[in-house]
Chain A
Amino acid sequence: MSAADTVRFLLDGQLVNALDVPPTMTVLEYLRDVAHRTGTKEGCAEGDCGACTVALGELSEDGTRVEFRAINSCIRPLPSIDGRELVTVESLSAPGAPLHPVQQAMVDEHASQCGFCTPGFVMSLFALYLRTAAPTREQVLEALAGNLCRCTGYRPIIDAACRMGDYPPPPNWSRESQHSAQRCQWLRELRRERALQFPGWYSPRSIDELAAALHAQPQALVLAGATDVGLWITKQLRELPAIIYVGEVAELKQIRRGADALRIAAAVSLTDAWDAITCDWPQLRELAQRFGSPPVRNAGTLCGNLANGSPIGDSMPVLIALGATLELRSVRGTRQLPLEQFYLGYQRRDLQPGEFVSAVTIPAPQQDVQLASYKISKRFEQDISAVCAAFAVRVRSGHVTAARIAFGGMAAVPSRAPATEQRLLGAPWSEQSIEAAVSALAQDFRPLSDMRASEHYRLQAAANLLRRFFLESGGSTIALRTADAAAAMS
């Protein structure tokens, strides 16, 4: 066995060489079953409860900084953390030693009851602490969106998070020490000359290597953040084909902002992708915030979400409305495809053997195009939409001259609403036109009834979201969101 066959990462300042790792072994399984570090818990094995949260440190390209982000270890294949630093709840303080400020604040605020979710909360807050020791309440809530607690009602956890900056910086794991020269040095030493490869796993270093590998093994699974594939492993117990991991391809980690488009490549995390998108379209911040949870967005990729093609993915409606284009790559070259044409039917996509999604390109914002995207779910945070709607409408001289309306949750694939769009085109931008358009929705969609919502509700909600879009575009003075009522109280 050559050195390349072992997965190597940093844990508590030690180099770990994980031998004989099955490609589908999760980080959590490694921690609990192999390393016997049982502080990290399994609550759901699907990345939805956060009990398994750990922090993962990645060296910046120039090798001088390390960025730590919270991820769900339960659905993260161990080989995908090769070359990174893993931080678990045990890492923060040695037995008997003073607790880390995050931990001490949790103790002092009585923020644990049964304690099973607590290590995950600690790690989500730890990742936040390394970014900012004195977060706002809003930053705290965002950071904790992926952590469920069934005991406390969260109030003491929120209080602990808001006060963790009051404690003196710890000797280990202070905001300063996260980028220490020693740490950067260690992680630089972990950089590989050539791809990590062992039976069932391949981490190509370039897009050409990736294309060639997929050409040679067209049945291989192209893996990015594993936030969906992780569930195939842990819940469906699927036998997976050989895995080709995109996370080590430098070219695929790029975000390029041109004069007329934003290009987001396949290995860009949802966190970074949404940051870039909301830079251009600040009105999408709520959608970005409600997309998955921080650990899911830190691991998952935008292109992965698009390539996966779930009928209920929340990125597709807005990107379809924006006229985004997919870049599909293979050894034969690159082809461009409007996003909405990619989805052929339930779990069927226009993807040739040997081809993979290498990037998505989003046209730059256009003046006089109004854009909004809304999701509706039972819970505000980290829920799957019953309906997700996106509207991009150009109004000139009071009339609609262009309309792109797309929905998720309304059909087997994310799709546009042609009849509804048609009713609006050329019509005056008025309540009357909206009502006419709304009545066409039933022509466009025949949604399912399932555990998230009934057909009737989905149609009604879709119509109401179009009404909301109109009301919000009109500079209305009445409250249109429950948050307006919350703001009125404070």
Chain B
Amino acid sequence: MVAQNIEIEPSSRASPRHDSAHLHVSGRALYADDIALPANALHAAFGMSSIAHGRIRKMDFAPLRQMSAVAAIAVASDVPGDNNYGSVLHDDPIFADGQVQYAGQPLFAVAATSYNAARKAARAAIIDYEPLPAILDVRAALAAQSYVLPTERLLRGQPHEMLGTAPRRLSGTVRIGGQDHFYLEGQIAIATPQEDGAMLVHSSTQHPSEVQQIVARALGRRSHDVTVQCRRMGGGFGGKETQPALIAAAAAVMAAKTQRAVKLRLDRDTDMLMTGKRHDFIADYEVGFDDQGRILALSVMLASRCGYSADLSGPVNDRAMMHLDNAYYLEHIEIISHRCKTHTVSNTAFRGFGGPQGMLVIEQILDDIARTLHLDPLSVRRCNFYGIGQRNVTPYGQTVDDNLVHTLVDRVAASAQYALRRGSLAAWNTANPIIKRGIALTPVKFGISFTSTIFNQAGALVHVYSDGTVLLNHGGAEMGQGLFIKVAQVVASELGVPLSAVRSSATDTSKIPNTSATAASSGSDLNGKAAQAAAQTIRQRLVQFACDTYGVQAEELHFHDGRVDVGSRQLTFAELVTQAYRARVSLSSTGFYRTPKIQWDKSAMRGRPFFYFAYGAAVSEVAIDTLSGETQLLRVDILHDVGRSLNSAIDLGQIEGGFLQGTGWLTSEELWWNASGELQTHAPSTYKIPTARDWPACATVRLLEDAPNREETIYRSKAVGEPPLMLAISVLHAIRDAVASCAGQPTRVHLDAPATPEAVLRAVAAVRGIAR
């Protein structure tokens, strides 16, 4: 019965532009802060802890109460329901309840008649603390065995025995800094009371359903009392997965209390002080290998700074463990993963979700091995790659059966002339004592699916109106990644209508229930399939209707370009739809999708957590200034696997943007806390993300052609949100290569990430000291 004549060749089409591009450039795209408020709306602001750890003796609000603009103050006891926004564990108070666990923690909120009045009032409270000793970094937490979650262990083979017999051994430490998301639009929510106890929340969130649940819980209501909407975010990157629930819940509590609309928008400093970031990691490793650099056994202790609560630290650290292999076969391996509790902000999801940190560890180990053996790091990488048909099982038991690493690395090494350039760099470095150049090629293999199997589901709701126009609803949230245009392309293809006939609605919990976060790169995989299912259902009804009405077979129907060929007769899509409507055919359908094949035994850390892998490879070349430690990215060549692209321009944008975001993480973006545990880099004046000049003048970014996903994903495409970030590891390794060239002889490089000028200069001094 299903019509099989859909001609879908998305990769061969021109890439439709982002659906909101014309609105972005004209300032007419509406973000939460742009929504007009009711006349009596209030603005709220948080009061924050000024110390890292302590007990609250007293909060004196007398100065606030004297301010005429102040309408309400909310503390923990004002939360009618559950004063908690923890997503996994129940350990994230909305308002501090007696104790504070990080500098920047929300203590209370104040609502006032203007944004600045609320901010002023929030600063006027007098808080009396009893300070307690604070644990501020990973090493201190390890020493105190301070953890938010139990330590996990992943073991395969006999790593310790094999370490004992390996011809060569090395040990070392990898230090990896955190990263602030720096979405341009800060956290924001607007809560508007509705009739009969209901609440409408506009939230800038990647996870509307979770905001809905937590707001309901905080208000002591149930999920159907709360509606959450989000048309778009001004960037998310993982920072709007769990964090928006705090903002929305606080706004909703104040709205319920005052029965007025309340907007809560964090200013940039508050946002950066209060909300979680990428986990910083330390890894201590011991590796055994042979003379070619092939790893025979590896033992790694991973420890990350989770902050004061669990948040998503469990799955983040799990993913770090599961990506420590990156593209390399590690036969005998042990990974111990400590999830450290510190009195700092609770770290959270960030593009890559622990994967980048895991990969950095193995990449540094390979680099250390190569420099110890006086080999090109690329040759050591190559001899450790997962094999095709052999040496292809990950430490957690998933077979790598879609391995593109060899293809990608061979092609990009050739197109970037890696070998030739390595020679010319050596000549340059011999002639130039001050400015040193370095080059590195690193691969990416990234597992696609939420490791928690239940989240791998999605819903959609497609309406076809009687004039032939289509309204598309799905559970995915648009944060700039182009999800809406990709899913709209799918629906337009399925219904054979022009893209202009499909309009995407805001993400809305009243349209699609029980959604997963738009995260883990899964947005178009999941929502594309769900929307496809919904569109196909409607199409099948139209096919049935046409067959019945016109006495044709399904094979004689063609949906294309807004027209329907019914045998020899031609109708417009709108005409057929109108006829179907008059014949009382339902023109609306839900669609649902669950990712097949995956299964995961969390306690054993075994199974097939990932539906498939996405791959990439990058060659970066840098110059470093050995007087100042400053670095410059001179050239990058990227080849990346997106399967059969749904929209190559959108995919290219994800690759380039992810690469530069990763480059920022590993070079200029430094989070710096003072000795009291106060973050000092909480605004763009002190926290430096890349600017336009940091995009290299010489850049070649390509999609791997003719490589449809082996798995049956939406039109055989692959996820693209997170993997490209890790292409930036090549930049850090190019810097390492340049630093290594400062030594008189091959030597290991001790360079922490981020490679700030200071870190680079320190590393240069260290290799020169060794060389002397």
Which residues in A have some Cβ–Cβ distance to B below 8 Å? 32, 36-46, 48-49, 51, 88-90, 92-93, 95, 99, 102-104, 106-108, 110, 112-119, 122, 137, 140-141, 144-145, 147-158, 235, 237, 374, 376-384, 386, 450-454, 457, 460-461, 464-465, 467-468, 471, 478-486, 488-490
Contacts and interface: CB of A to CB of B under 8 A. Distances in A.
B758 A457 contact: yes
15 contacts: A37-B27, A38-B27, A107-B25, A110-B653, A114-B480, A115-B234, A115-B480, A116-B184, A147-B692, A150-B657, A237-B120, A380-B632, A451-B686, A478-B433, A489-B634
Given A150-B184, A467-B627, A468-B627, A110 B650 contact: yes
B757 A39 contact: no
A46 B685 CA distance: 8
Nearest to A375: B628
Nearest to B672: A451
Interface in B723-758: 756-758
A110 B18 contact: yes
Given A151-B480, A482-B631, A107 B21 contact: yes
Interface stretch (B283-291, B396-404, B676-684, B704-712): B676-684
Contacts of A377: 688, 757
In the A-B complex, list the 4 residue pairs whose CB atoms are closest, starting with the nearest.
A39-B27, A114-B480, A116-B234, A115-B24
A150 B758 contact: no
B185 interface: yes
B116 interface: yes
A256 to B, nearest CB: 33
A377 B630 CA distance: 8
Contacts of B184: 41, 43, 49, 51, 114, 116-117, 148-150
A151 B657 contact: yes
Contact of B630 (A137, A376, A460): A376
Most chain A beta-carbon contacts within 10 A, residue among B15, B660, B692, B701: B692
B27 A460 contact: no
B571 interface: no
Given A51-B184, A376-B757, A490 B698 contact: yes
B582 interface: no
Given A38-B27, A457-B761, A488-B428, A379 B182 contact: no
Interface of B: 15, 17-18, 20-31, 33-34, 36, 116, 119-120, 123, 181-186, 232-237, 267-269, 428, 431-435, 437, 479-482, 621, 623-625, 627-632, 634-635, 649-650, 652-653, 656-661, 668, 670, 672, 680-681, 683-686, 688-695, 697-699, 701, 756-758, 761-762
Contacts of B482: 113
A114 B183 contact: yes
Contacts of B681: 451
A486 B697 contact: yes
A467 B433 CA distance: 13
Q: Is the interface of A mostly helix, strand, loop or mixed?
A: loop
A44 B183 CA distance: 11
Contacts of A88: 27
Given A39-B27, A381-B691, A235 B269 contact: yes
Contact of B21 (A51, A112, A483): A112
Nearest to B661: A150
A113 B116 contact: no
Contact of B659 (A41, A90, A153, A378): A153
Contacts of A468: 434, 627-628
A144 B693 CA distance: 8
Contacts of A102: 25
Contacts of B481: 113
Most chain B beta-carbon contacts within 10 A, residue among A39, A99, A102: A39
Contacts of B684: 43-44, 46, 48-49, 148
B315 to A, nearest CB: 23
Nearest to B663: A153
B134 to A, nearest CB: 19
A482 B623 contact: yes
B268 A113 contact: no
B519 to A, nearest CB: 15
A43 B185 contact: yes
A194 B217 CA distance: 61
Contacts of A374: 628
A150 B698 contact: no
A113 B659 CA distance: 15
Contacts of A118: 24-25
A113 B693 contact: no
Contacts of A157: 692
Contacts of A489: 621, 634-635, 698
A150 B688 CA distance: 11
A478 B756 contact: no
Nearest to B186: A43
Given A114-B235, A481-B625, 6 more contacts: A41-B33, A49-B268, A151-B480, A471-B434, A483-B632, A490-B698
A381 B185 CA distance: 22
Contacts of B119: 237
Nearest to B34: A38
Nearest to A110: B649
Contacts of A32: 33
Contacts of A464: 627-628
Nearest to B680: A451
Contacts of A490: 697-698
A43 B623 CA distance: 32
A480 B431 CA distance: 12
B758 A454 contact: yes
A389 B681 CA distance: 24
Given A110-B17, A116-B185, A480 B435 contact: yes
Contact of B761 (A108, A460, A483): A460
A465 to B, nearest CB: 7
Contacts of A478: 431-435
B289 to A, nearest CB: 33
A489 B698 CA distance: 9
A184 to B, nearest CB: 26
B691 A115 contact: no
A466 B233 CA distance: 47
Nearest to A457: B758
Contacts of A453: 757-758
B693 A380 contact: yes
Contact of A482 (B25, B480, B624): B624
B491 to A, nearest CB: 21
A154 B695 CA distance: 7
Contacts of A103: 22, 25-26
B234 A48 contact: no
A485 B623 contact: yes
Contacts of B22: 99, 103, 107
Nearest to B237: A150
B29 A115 contact: yes
A319 to B, nearest CB: 22
A465 B628 contact: yes
Contacts of A467: 627
A48 B685 contact: yes
A430 to B, nearest CB: 18
Nearest to A140: B692
A90 B123 CA distance: 35
Contact of A151 (B186, B235, B623, B625): B235
Given A93-B26, A379-B690, A156 B653 contact: yes
Nearest to A236: B123
Most chain B beta-carbon contacts within 10 A, residue among A42, A90, A386, A485: A485
Nearest to A158: B692
A149 B571 CA distance: 46
Contacts of A151: 235, 480, 653, 657
A482 B761 CA distance: 14
A31 B39 CA distance: 18
B690 A41 contact: no
Contact of B694 (A46, A116, A380): A380
